[in-house]
Structure 1
């Protein structure tokens, strides 16, 4: 997102769906830079991060719900929504103080769900006015979500997961490269995967049985990538058409048909950019951190000599589109 904001104003930004390897604990990091095209006088507060846990998975359709109210049961209610945002179950408010309520819920659809509990007073159900709690358990009464100490609301996601089903999926660390570059593929498949079979059109190797292979592309072109996964019984295949785009190395890299050019590449520091007057340009390092930015670009070149040797990504935002190019810095 780019744009201008007045003092003390904000804007809600909806991100595109993104693929990643889910860990037990994940971190989302958000960074702003060059506010309204100006250097930030207080850059120390420009990055925030938030940890989130992977949603627990259940393989049975039955969920046992248990709720103990505090001394103010009328303040408590809850709901469960599916991935479409539809409320599939709800309850409350309640009348019995310090009372245990139980329900058996059935989830026939294999989907992602979110349980949210509300307290109208804003002090949760534990522990100032009683020892209230909630528990979500599978059919065997194994707890997969619980709590009680929160403010106005508490949300817990979970997934009704189908055993014996595998779904192939993957991502590449970069999809627009130059001849001779190496691409690292990361498996994002779902299920109890025991084998992987990759096919890399135009790549070396052309096939692989590794989970996360590295592939070199020697010749200019646009290439498909196919992954087939198996759990020993069930198989699933995903093909991403025209997934890897390989440019020819000329020393002057033409980025798109509109005549935008960056050269030389590799560069020793000074990188000339043509055809981007008025564009917004950001330079990212290999970890995704913005290391330089230029608004309403009108110069002939940018200077990368103050950066460490390595690979950088130049993000060019024009009125028509956004273009990203990989550049090597070798001093």
Structure 2
């Protein structure tokens, strides 16, 4: 059989041209870029940056680590502001950002960490961890609102 027809039952032609699909194939589906969100992370270290580590995990995927720092062999400078390369994250997904202090005294004032988005030059703070967190401090976020998405 060809294209679910029995060939030759009435002496007909079973060539592919006779039974070829006449409509053109549909275009492939393109996913909208709005399925992603760009998030910015900023860290102001304290006088003991060697005690500081951080991670961003995808809470929707059982805590899969998405980003972390510092990288192997990297040590942050004391009392320095770091603005990390923006992260592109999945929209409508739960994330947890955690900062750790190995000494257990948090980030000495004025140290902090922020996670935010920006749209049309207006920043949307998703979470801020000030220095008073002892061994670790976390902020959870899930961006589904179009107003929170970067242009």
TM superposition score category, shorter chain reference: 0.5 to 0.7
2:64 alignment counterpart: 86
1:39 alignment counterpart: none
Aligned-CA RMSD value: 1.9
1:100 aligns with 2:91: no
1:117-139 Cα deviation digits (max 9, x unpaired): 10000011133xxx211111112
1:125 alignment counterpart: 107
Q: Secondary structure at the match of 1:161?
A: coil
- What pairs with 1:115-194 in structure 2 (closer than 5 Å)? 115-127=97-109, 131-140=110-119, 141-148=123-130, 149-161=132-144, 163=146
Deviation at 1:109, TM superposition (A): 4.4
1:3 alignment counterpart: none
More strand by share: 1
More helix by share: 2
Q: Higher relative contact order at CA 8 Å, sep ≥6: structure 1 or structure 2?
A: 2
Q: Distance in 2 between matches of 1:112 and 1:120?
A: 26
1:74 aligns with 2:55: no
Q: Secondary structure at the match of 2:90?
A: coil
Q: Distance in 2 between matches of 1:72 and 1:108?
A: 33
TM-score of the two chains, using structure 2 as the length reference: 0.61
Structure 2 residues not aligned, in runs of 5+: 1-34, 147-151
Give the conservation status (yes or no) of the 8 Å contact 1:77–1:94: no
Alignment size in residue pairs? 102
Q: Secondary structure at the match of 1:97?
A: coil
1:111 alignment counterpart: 93
Give the conservation status (yes or no) of the 8 Å contact 1:123–1:151: yes
